[in-house]
Chain A
Amino acid sequence: MRSLKELLLPKILMGNYLVILIALLVTSVGVCSFLKNEIGRTQVNVLQQISDLNQLNMNAVKNTMTDLYSSIQSFINLNSIENFDKTQADQVMEETQRCFSNMGVDSMVDIILKDVGTYTSDGDLSRVDALKKTVRYTYLISGSRAESWYMNFSNRKDSKKGILLSFGRTILNEKGEAAGIVIISTSQQTLLRSYENTLNENNVIYILDESGIVISHSNPRLIGFSFYYMPTFEKNVAPYNSYTVKTKNHRPLLLSNYHNEENGWTFVEELDLTSKLKDYSRMIIVVIAGVLICSFFMVGLDFVLIDKVTNSLTRFSWHIKGLQPDLSNGITEIPVQEDYVEINIIMERFNKMLARIQELIQNIKINERKKRKAEFDFLQAQIEPHFLRNTLLTLKSLIALGESQKAMSMLDDFNALLRIPMMVDKQFVPVYEEIELVMHYMAIMEYRFDKRFLLHIHMPEEIKHVLVPRMILQPVAANALFHGFAEKEDNAIITIMAYEQGEDLYIVITDNGEGMTEEQIQMVLAGKRNVNSHHGVGLKNVKSRLQLIYGERARLNIKSTVNVGTEVTLVFAGYRSVYFNNEENQT
């Protein structure tokens, strides 16, 4: 069987751990989503800003370009492409440059005419070759081919990185064929200026072509493209999608893209997750540590609380366990010193109950003693009234008959016998007094029945003064006289033998009378009283008194043989200690 503590503790601990676990889970999920959202939000914000800026700038550029395109177109229309001369071209250039200057764009315009060559504002033909070399890096970035914008990159042989040089647009002739490309040169600085408010060290802008290939990425220091960072994107990347990728050197990156429908550009922002992840793991560690500390305190608290609750009960149970099962030896109260009102109430009630039990036991004891006393007093053999009357009647008869000598002698014996009622308070008398009593009794009986009874006594000197309950032998002698010698006229002998065996005193009364049958013995022992013998209760009374005083080991045995005699054995078990105990009880 388990104790209350053993029963409670695992359940409470389990419950607490469950709560802690759930708390840990919820916190983790919360922190994760918070961090994710946080990162995502930063990302989207940045992209939105870029997008807005971009649109603004690009629209301006686009508008200018459209105007420019119209003028060039009209110009071409007016003059066949073959007649296009340098003077006219210079005019266009001037016009264009003025437009861009107004826009604040530090730029150059090149016009590349098919089969004619490039006409630049400074007339530097050397650049044409350079441009021709870079033409394969010009990508379609928006719209149909007829209205395409081009981005032009130079690919210097001394650098692996391309540099964005210019935007461009195809010029068509009358037949709708591509007549050439108008290129507006721009510089890295221009682009940077446009984005410098948005970009920071952690942001990188990728510029992708229509098919999703990264053609450039930006960082505050460098705009160009690097294939080293290039992740593979699926086509038609949706706006604001985020991807976590790992670079070649295993740095975790978060890539978010934004597709601008206006200009067809897709911007990709790259975020280095290393630092963010550091924050993230630090936060997780803090959360776990917090939860662990909490759980530690919780478990401690559980122990303390359960201890506090169960200790009172445990102490209570130990107190109860310590109580003597034999409540008769007095009951020690349980000390009431517990911390809880409830336990105290139980203990107080328990104490009251104990006290009550003790009281009841005392009452029972007292009652029992009273009852025993009463029973004892009752059983204390008295001189039976009819014996007195019979004796007195006999005396009267003797006197009437003139046998005064006999009457006087009988009166002496009677007088001796009458001492018995006078010493009611004296329960124990020496054996010899008891025997004297028997002698007086027998003398009276001799007169009454006109017979001679012989009394033999065998008793060691030391037993003479042993104390026995008074009137314990007389009923036995009476039984012998009535049952043994009713019809026996002479040679009636009663022998009283007393001896000590171990702790017990034996007194054996033998007669040589008629004896009793087994049935008669049983009747005598059962105390069955009938008109035949008013001494019927005598032996039963003796037996009861013996057992009352000397306990279960006390005996009254009757052995009898018809026509031979009867032997009654009284066993006073442990007679010495019994006597002293009884003396104490009386005082």
Chain B
Amino acid sequence: MKILIVDDEVPIRKYITQMIQDCGEEYEVIGSVGSAKKAMEVMKHQVPDLVFADITMPKITGLELLEQIKKEYPEVSVFMLTCHNDFEFEELRLNSRLTIIF
């Protein structure tokens, strides 16, 4: 399984990468990038099966990235990561058909 990680915070990104790699050989991290723009560039070369994306990122947010991925690569699954737990949720629930996992 090819996995792409998008997060602007470097240590967290690295940590997630390490955690996935620890899970086994079948999980392959094809990229670990800091912005949505870079994520789209990676996806042009290699389409992942799963994307881990942080919601809060400068410039293009995780949600915007999600929309883009759903449009261009509908088969790709996306996990949204956030440490927000307040008002954004309602917005998220309404704007996208996301499944919220606490």
Interface residues of A (CB under 8 A from B): 386, 389-390, 393-394, 396-398, 400-401, 403, 406, 447-450, 482-483, 486-487, 531-534
Contact = CB atoms under 8 A, between A and B. Distances in A.
B26 interface: no
A430 B92 CA distance: 42
A486 B11 contact: no
Interface size class of B (residues with CB under 8 A): 20 to 34
Contacts of A389: 83
B4 interface: no
Contact of A390 (B9, B34, B37, B59): B9
A483 B15 CA distance: 25
User: Taking chain A's interface residues, is the majority helix, strand, or loop, or is none over half, making it mixed?
Assistant: helix
Nearest to A393: B12
Contacts of B12: 390, 393-394, 397
Contact of B18 (A393, A400, A449): A400
Interface in B29-77: 34-35, 37, 55-59, 61-63
Contacts of B63: 531
B18 to A, nearest CB: 6
A405 to B, nearest CB: 13
Contacts of A483: 58
Which A-B residue pairs are the 7 nearest by beta carbons? A486-B58, A397-B15, A450-B10, A397-B11, A389-B83, A394-B11, A448-B9
B10 A396 contact: no
Contact of B61 (A386, A403, A532): A532
B11 A487 contact: no
B2 interface: no
A448 B11 contact: yes
A401 B84 contact: no
A86 B37 CA distance: 190
A532 B55 CA distance: 8
Contacts of A390: 9, 12, 83
A133 to B, nearest CB: 156
B25 interface: no
Interface of B: 8-12, 14-15, 18-19, 34-35, 37, 55-59, 61-63, 83-84, 88, 91-92
Contact of B10 (A386, A448, A482): A448
A482 B84 CA distance: 17
Given A401-B15, A532-B57, A534-B84, 20 more contacts: A386-B83, A393-B83, A397-B11, A398-B11, A401-B11, A403-B11, A448-B9, A448-B10, A449-B8, A449-B9, A449-B10, A487-B35, A487-B58, A531-B61, A531-B62, A531-B63, A531-B84, A531-B92, A532-B58, A533-B56
11 contacts: A386-B83, A390-B12, A401-B18, A449-B8, A449-B34, A486-B59, A531-B62, A531-B88, A532-B56, A533-B56, A534-B84
A484 to B, nearest CB: 10
Contacts of A482: 58
Given A449-B8, A483-B58, A532-B56, A397 B84 contact: no
Which of A390, A396, A531 counts the most B-chain CB atoms under 10 A from its CB?
A531
A400 B15 contact: yes
Contacts of A534: 56, 84
Which of B14, B58, B88 counts the most A-chain CB atoms under 10 A from its CB?
B58
Contacts of B15: 396-397, 400-401
A390 B10 CA distance: 11
Contacts of B10: 448-450
Contacts of A396: 15
A263 B90 CA distance: 141
Given A390-B83, A401-B18, A533 B58 contact: yes
Nearest to A445: B9
Contacts of A394: 9, 11-12
Nearest to B54: A390
Contacts of B61: 531-532
B19 to A, nearest CB: 8
Contact of A450 (B11, B56, B62): B11
A193 B12 CA distance: 162
Given A390-B83, A449-B8, A487-B35, A531 B59 contact: no
A264 to B, nearest CB: 138
Contacts of A448: 9-11
Nearest to A489: B34
Contacts of A397: 11-12, 14-15
Nearest to A482: B58
A533 to B, nearest CB: 7
A447 to B, nearest CB: 7
A389 B85 CA distance: 11
A509 to B, nearest CB: 18
A487 B59 contact: yes
A225 to B, nearest CB: 139
Contacts of A393: 9, 12, 83
Contacts of A487: 35, 37, 58-59
A59 to B, nearest CB: 141
Nearest to B14: A401
A397 B16 CA distance: 8
Contacts of B8: 449, 486
Nearest to B84: A386
B68 to A, nearest CB: 15
B10 to A, nearest CB: 3
Nearest to A407: B11
